[in-house]
Chains A and B, each alone.
Chain A
Amino acid sequence: TAGITQAPTSQILAAGRSMTLRCTQDMRHNAMYWYRQDLGLGLRLIHYSNTAGTTGKGEVPDGYSVSRANTDDFPLTLASAVPSQTSVYFCASSDSSPGTYNEQFFGPGTRLTVL
């Protein structure tokens, strides 16, 4: 089982350009999340989706958008990248059904550099 995959693995992007980070899970988890991880800071939630068709804003949503057309996919789009969006981006998913820990499973991450 692949679990969660992310693409690309890394990317260098010119400021002002747009980009979509892809995330796909095959565990049929209802909830999915996008985090950014910066040195010295904890993981910060950008956007989340509790179920297909719904999304919500996390702690740092500005400059990012998401969609959840189906259970498996949760793409993150940067409409006009800025250097402060240079970070490692992790996608995660969880099964929030009763009786579970609701622990999150993470993809391998995308390292994004905005110049």
Chain B
Amino acid sequence: GQNIDQPTEMTATEGAIVQINCTYQTSGFNGLFWYQQHAGEAPTFLSYNVLDGLEEKGRFSSFLSRSKGYSYLLLKELQMKDSASYLCAVMDSNYQLIWGAGTKLIIKP
């Protein structure tokens, strides 16, 4: 079966760095997405990786290792507004997204 695993919840301090991991087993691979979802709102796109390596976009970076079935989202200089759920999703061989349950990130002052 297809499976996306990520931690249920993480806590970090304002101004610090946090890494959210995602491991996956899917039927085929056509890219990995990270989305941010604030409570009561819709998911919004953060990043996309299809090749191995690190993609940097401002305070957010995303890493992919296809051989290990592994990705992480790195958030730097954490701000209170970064408190949200972070969703990992893999596009499978049918170009459908398979979603993880999300990681709730709590930022403390």
Contacts and interface: CB of A to CB of B under 8 A. Distances in A.
A102 B97 CA distance: 10
Nearest to B30: A102
- Range for the number of chain A residues in contact with chain B: 10 to 19
14 contacts: A42-B4, A42-B99, A42-B100, A43-B43, A43-B87, A44-B99, A45-B96, A58-B96, A96-B95, A101-B33, A103-B45, A104-B97, A106-B44, A107-B42
Nearest to A38: B101
Contact of A105 (B45, B99, B100, B102): B45
Given A90-B43, A96-B95, A106-B44, 8 more contacts: A42-B102, A45-B96, A90-B42, A101-B48, A102-B95, A103-B45, A103-B48, A109-B42
